[in-house]
Structure 1
């Protein structure tokens, strides 16, 4: 989609007016349907039967795509500001629980595929791209951070050395337990399970069970046998 300054200004003005006026209307037949009807023009795409509860914050709706049957609960914040080339896509039947915080900024793509569940107070942040597959379960307080501060030069402030943005990929049918942290540059293979509190710093093969800090593979779901960790 091509943007010009006047269309961006108009969209953001309309977005601000509508979300402030409608954002806190209670979720009932009238409130929910009114939000869907009036929100639709300000999004890049909005499917059928989208359920947006009151108290949800959107920034830069012009790049946000919502599939059919998407559920977004109270306190969710989706910030896609900072660059007109950002992309934020929720496919059909994605659920975002209370307090989810998603930041797709600085030419970032965040893509969450069909029927994936994002638990309460999960945080996803660019500027690296994030792709989460179908039918994943992401438990509460998980952090998925597609960025990492550069700190090679001890004579310079860390905040001034920039960040990496390699991106993160999570395959279909993965389960990330409570308070997992996934760091920039990681791919978690299809069908993997990451134990609660693990910190994923390296790629995880498909159908693995990984636990610990840093996360280590301890079992293959396909082979059903222990894998000796390499220390």
Structure 2
């Protein structure tokens, strides 16, 4: 056990050393190529044609898998620490825009499937498992939170009452508008549209259009044409 802890600390130090020195090398000085090449030694997996801009922070890189053609822009923080069974997986063609935070926390699996776009300043946080499907569009300032604090006992501090962690599933081809919040235990069905500012507290059936706080389904899609909403509701 002591040997395992020692080698674990050495591994973490190597990860920190490489990400610290390479993380801020500007693109103009070959930073993207250096990161793509040398990060292979410390990540669980990195595919080909990966673009990692300078100013991206990775923690516990041995928990992070990155597919082919993934783009990760400045200010992103991807944190796999907390448990040896954590896994964060970015499939082929995923785009992570600026200032996104992805955190696994504890015994957590976060999967973002191929060709999904994560907009600026999105937060995706465990410790519940999170699955985001293929070809999804997640707009800026969206929050996807796979945990919930217990607070039933008014005599005890909320932070000491523990949490629940049911997990979140966002199926393929979903569009979440600006500032949407998705709470723990929710499944958003395939092909659904969630309007800007909505708070999703319950499951959304496939091919639905939902808006409001809490989010409610107001229209369905027929599989061929998208039912039109006002542009301010889903942009």
Residue pairs, 1:128-207, within 5 angstroms: 128-207=128-207
SS at match of 1:156: coil
SS at match of 1:218: strand
Residue pairs, 1:1-231, within 5 angstroms: 4-28=4-28, 30-222=30-222
Q: Deviations over 1:123-145 (max 9, x none)?
A: 01000000000000000000000
CA drift of 1:201 comes to: 0.1
CA drift of 1:103 comes to: 0.6
Cα distance between partner residues in 2 of 1:184 and 1:152 = 17
Provide TM-score, normalisation by structure 1. Answer: 0.94
Cα distance between partner residues in 1 of 2:11 and 2:32 = 21
Unaligned runs of 5+ residues in structure 2 are 229-235
CA drift of 1:29 comes to: 7.0
SS at match of 2:210: strand
Cα distance between partner residues in 2 of 1:222 and 1:165 = 34
Cα distance between partner residues in 2 of 1:47 and 1:6 = 29
Cα distance between partner residues in 2 of 1:189 and 1:102 = 22
SS at match of 2:154: coil
1:229 corresponding residue in structure 2: none
Q: Tell me the matched-pair count.
A: 224
Provide TM-score, normalisation by structure 2. Answer: 0.92
Divergent runs of 4+, >4 A: 223-226
SS at match of 2:78: strand
